[in-house]
Amino acid sequence: MSRESQTVLSGKPVEPALPGKLPENLRAELIAFRRDLHMHPELGHQEFRTTAAIKARLEKAGLRPRVLETGTGLICDIGSWDGQRPMLGFRADIDALPIPDAKVGVPYRSTVPDRAHACGHDVHTTVVLGTGLVLAALHRQGLLPRPVRLLFQPAEEVLPGGASDAIESGVLDGVGQMIAVHCDPRVDAGRIGLRPGPITSACDRLEITLEGAGGHTARPHLTTDMVTAAARVAVDVPALLARRVDTRAGLAVTWGKIASGHACNVIPMTAELSGTVRCLDLNAWHEAPDLIHAAIDEVAGMHRAKTEINYVRGVPPVVNDPVVTELLRDAMAARCGAHSVEDTEQSLGGEDFSWYLEHVPGAMARLGVRTPGDPVKRDLHRGDFDVDESAITTGVELFTAAALLDGRRARANG
């Protein structure tokens, strides 16, 4: 059955054929570009080489990128904004993670100790770069119906995320919608996952210091038994919250670090705990700091421990706009067929793309990066993370189709 027949049966109007397929020579160049980024990962606010590489390639294409005020990251417009119809924005995050690259047998393994692109930001960056190059060529031919903005954002992995700084610098001026992709190793390359509404979780950082009188382990009744107090906070605070918040809100405190004491027969005077707070529901996220402060004080007080709490706000959930989500669904169907889109679940991972959607409607798609049939289960934020590089083509063609469909529909609606 032809795509046109499928479209008629689905009840949607048939879209004219879309230009903007990725040329083979550019496909090979983008893979090489991604591998270069992968070999030279840079942490948040330190992405100087990455920024320079993106800027140089855009300028080679005759574009005029502008580095952000923070010194890393950049924006680049294709076409001139007329002050009336807002632009469609494409966002990529460009920073890496502070973990070693554990891959073996690949020539593009990280050359920087304890640094790796283990979350796919090198792919996101390459997808938006490739999108810009293809759309710039279409613009020169008079085939781009609406101007677009490319945004290469630094420091996504640094709470509360580089998006806040980018927004303050004016990256959304003239932008009416934002879209992005995030690599998903659970989805096959050549496919994307979509979900209207919340698709990620809120994520905050929690740091606690407990203090009290230490002493000899022979006389714990004369002390604040700090190790026991820390253990009770670690166990009882999450359990207490589970009875004070609707379980459907998905509020979860998970510890990553507990430290206390130096000797087996000495009760220490301090203990430290740190972890993350994740929440699926936006309203519950707004209430979380007060609830968590109260629960920590209550449990610690039972053990006569004083508390010092540092609650660092991170990011709210990414809430996909239904209209923009449907644009991505239609764009992917136009390129690869409706079968290439699957529904995805809400993730407990955090993403600072959410800050843009506090200002303009937008959507994030899950970009499949698993080689079909690969039995190895990979995950994000692990040193052995890698991708099927055909996902770059999928991402570019998804974005170019979205830009063309969005422009056509904007013109049709006046």
At 3 the pLDDT is 44
Three-class SS of residue 250?
coil
- pLDDT over 60 (residue 5): no
- pLDDT over 70 (residue 83): yes
DSSP 242: T
At 15 the pLDDT is 54
pLDDT band at 11 (very low <50, low <70, confident <90, very high): low
Mean pLDDT of the chain: 93
pLDDT band at 215 (very low <50, low <70, confident <90, very high): very high
Side-chain-side CA neighbours of 83 within 13 Å: the count stands at: 0
> Rounded to whole angstroms, how far apart are CA atoms 157 and 219?
45
Q: Which residues pair with 341 in a beta bridge?
A: 192
Lowest mean pLDDT among 226-235, 358-367, 403-412: 403-412
- pLDDT over 60 (residue 220): yes
> Rounded to whole angstroms, how far apart are CA atoms 57 and 360?
28
* Cis? peptide before 23, omega within 30° of 0: no
Give the tens place of pLDDT for each residue, 113-133: 999 999 999 999 999 999 999
Give the tens place of pLDDT for each residue, 152-164: 999 999 888 899 9
> Rounded to whole angstroms, how far apart are CA atoms 150 and 368?
21
Nearest to 150 by CA among 396, 394, 391, 408: 396
Cite the DSSP H helix spans in 272-383: 282-302, 322-336
- pLDDT over 50 (residue 9): no
- pLDDT over 50 (residue 82): yes
> Rounded to whole angstroms, how far apart are CA atoms 182 and 187?
11
> Rounded to whole angstroms, how far apart are CA atoms 88 and 265?
63
Give the tens place of pLDDT for each residue, 27-64: 999 999 999 999 999 999 999 999 999 999 999 999 99
* Cis? peptide before 160, omega within 30° of 0: yes
Joined together, the tokens standing for residue 49 give 């080489």
Joined together, the tokens standing for residue 157 give 């992995």
- pLDDT over 90 (residue 334): yes
At 16 the pLDDT is 60
At 377 the pLDDT is 83
Strand arrangement of the beta sheet that strand 202-211 belongs to: 252-259, 270-279, 202-211, 306-315
- pLDDT over 50 (residue 6): no
Arithmetic mean of pLDDT, 201-213: 96
- pLDDT over 80 (residue 166): yes
Give the tens place of pLDDT for each residue, 241-296: 999 999 999 999 999 999 999 999 999 999 999 999 999 998 999 999 999 999 99
| CB 70, CB 45: distance < 8 Å | yes
Tell me the pTM: 0.89
Nearest to 217 by CA among 227, 231, 207: 227
pLDDT band at 13 (very low <50, low <70, confident <90, very high): low
> Rounded to whole angstroms, how far apart are CA atoms 308 and 299?
13
Lowest mean pLDDT among 10-19, 70-79, 220-229, 323-332: 10-19
DSSP strand E in 139-269: where? 148-153, 175-188, 192-194, 197-198, 202-211, 215-216, 252-259, 266-267
Arithmetic mean of pLDDT, 213-220: 95
Share of the chain above pLDDT 90, in %: 88
DSSP 116: B
At 378 the pLDDT is 85
- pLDDT over 60 (residue 365): yes
Question: What sign for the dihedral angle of Cα 181, 186, 191, 193?
Answer: negative
Distances (CA, A) of 219 to 215, 222, 223, 346: 7, 6, 7, 50
